Structure 1
């Protein structure tokens, strides 16, 4: 299953980008052994519209246009469901085992996500109840993707 990340906003050079890249690289190298591959990391600039609702709608339209037909869409939102790492790995494994070809994880912009995305999403997850800067969210989800691969493969990286 091809796994992608869609993010509103561009990650600037620096330690956050380097760390996220390190985990995405680990995921890309280890994932194929368990049927997961890194498809792409798509960034889009934040909308310049004058109000939040229009910005969210414009950003959502770009995301929805980029989704392959039949893609699983996972939204990251502080009001989403909290999963531990094993449950997240099992969720990815279940979608893979159902024969899903594409899965996209979406990080919204500063204004949040448009209601159309919640309507389309297969699941909405949170990385805890706190609000995180987008740079850290990318690093956290990259690490969790790599961790999911290690859980699915039985690698000792994940220890409880």
Structure 2
């Protein structure tokens, strides 16, 4: 199952990018054994619309239009449900085992997701009640995908 992270904004060179790339490389290598990955990134620019609702709608359309047909969408949203890492791994395995070819984790812009993304999402996920910079969210999502792969493969990375 191919995995995509769709984001509003670009990840600039720096420690956040280096951390993200480290997990993306690990996903590419370790994921083969459990049929997860590789990981790709879809970046779309921030909308310049004056109103927040218009910005969210434009950004939502840009993210959804960039996905391969049939992609299952999981939206990162502060109102989403939290998952323990082992449950998250089970969720990924269940999607893979039901024949999902493409899975996308979508990270909205500064105003959040537009209604179109939330309507298209199979579910919404939250990384917790705190707010994180979008650059950090990318690294956290990549790390959790890698952690899920190690859980599914029996690797000792996850010590719960």
Q: In structure 1, what is the Cα distance between the partners aligned to 2:132 and 2:79?
A: 12
Deviations 1:46-85 (A, max 9, x none): 0111111111111111111122222110000111000010
- Residue 37 of structure 1 aligns to a residue whose secondary structure is coil
Q: Give the corresponding residue for 1:106.
A: 106
Q: Partner of 2:38: helix, strand, or coil?
A: strand
- Equivalent residues in 2 for 1:3-152 (5 A)? 3-152=3-152
- Work out whether residues 3 and 104 of structure 2, in 8 Å CA contact, stay in contact via their aligned partners in 1: yes
CA distance in 2, matches of 1:14, 1:70: 33
Counterpart-to-counterpart distance in 2, 1:90 and 1:4: 18
CA distance in 1, matches of 2:21, 2:133: 17
Q: 1 CA distance for matches of 2:150 and 2:111?
A: 34
SS of residue in 1 equivalent to 2:49: coil
Which TM-score applies when normalising by structure 1? Answer: 0.97
* Cα RMSD, aligned residues only: 0.8
Q: What TM-score do the two structures reach when normalised by structure 2?
A: 0.97
d(CA) in 2 for partners of 1:158, 1:41: 24
Tell me the secondary structure at the aligned position of residue 4 of structure 1: strand
Q: How many residues align?
A: 160
Unaligned runs of 5+ in 1: none
Deviation of 1:32 after TM superposition, in Å, equals: 1.1
